[in-house]
Structure 1
Amino acid sequence: MFELRKLPYGKDTMGDFLSPVTFDFHYGKHHQAYVTNLNGLIENTEFAGSELFDIITKAKGGLFNNAAQVYNHDFYWDCIAPVASEAGLELQEQIHKDFGSLEAFKDIYLKSATSLFGSGWCWLVYDSTSQKLEIIQTSNAATPPTEGKIPVLVVDVWEHAYYIDHKNARAVYLEKFYNHINWNFVSQAYEWAKKEGINSVRFYMNDIHKKS
């Protein structure tokens, strides 16, 4: 059985970025519902007892949607933090190489997240083949590991992620998100991606969802 992960910070620590009420709904209800649905859908199936990575990369339909949303949210919570931090030097160098500068990356990333139509996610991923960072959008529950891309950073642009605090002003939410990026975690994710490739995603999932 999968369990809802614990948040790495208090739900009242994000100031005017995310309120405790948003956490009550987004984390306490939406994320919890995906975990609950996932457990119900794998019961008495070939996926009972499977690792989350295997479910996401092999399942279809509703089972995939709920499993992927568990992971997408797990990763999102780690990508934000109450206090500002800086990207590690190795990640900064790669961002400069692939996007020109940190300022150019911010502009491209936020424009991509703002322009994503409907519900979904905007990711910074590492491609092991090209050895480059890429910005990609996914709709609904779609997630980069199914395409062999390794997530480094993500922002949730489903309306339930920001509507309570920012109404329809997605751009305002995204600007505040950028100021709360947990660059320490993102830098580690980049290091793991370079070292372990797609296996770093499996290791991450297994670390959060330890089997008893």
Structure 2
Amino acid sequence: MKRIHLSLLTPLLATAMLSACAQPSNPASAAAGQPADGTIARAVDEAVTEARREIHEGNITLSNDGPGGAKAEITPQGDFLIDGRKVGVTPAQRALLLEHRSRVAAVAEAGMQVGLKGAELATIAMKEAARGLLSGDSTSVEAKVEAEAAKIQGSALQLCGHLPALLASQQKLAAALPEFKPYATMTQADVDDCKADVKKDMVAENAAAG
């Protein structure tokens, strides 16, 4: 399974946002409610479904940055693997591993929601752009797209809301399981930067709109 990391969400969202900026190849069909690129949402939905399956059924890879480049994973059963080697854990440590795994999964789920909102925005933007081309009403088109973009920002803030619990579970696990400590790289700065970055983007977009 691929490493779950917040930065992996960026290409998915960026693709959706870039698609939202593109003009449809067939404005008439989009204006009639049939987007020229209706595959965007379906493709993202399929990717999210597969990602959810991997998260719940496969190993969650935490990092490849351990000593000597060793990869750390947590299995659905709460085993801790380093380069495929199972580390002996107590029942209490296994419980902490499962808790941390659930926190990582929650962040990944929230990130996928951001991607889904981006795909929805792409579809809506293309349809509205087509209507705007036909009607000459660009003002209402911009208002609708901005309203949808605000939903993405809301989803991004919800993602940030999962980070304090993720950090807390990481710290508890690092204190209880020495082998996990090299992989406990998340800091309070990461939590603080998440909301700050989203709010910064919101301010920049509002300024551009004004």
Q: TM-score range by the shorter chain?
A: under 0.3
Structure showing greater radius of gyration is: 2
TM-score normalized by the length of structure 1: 0.26
Bigger helix fraction: 2
Bigger strand fraction: 1
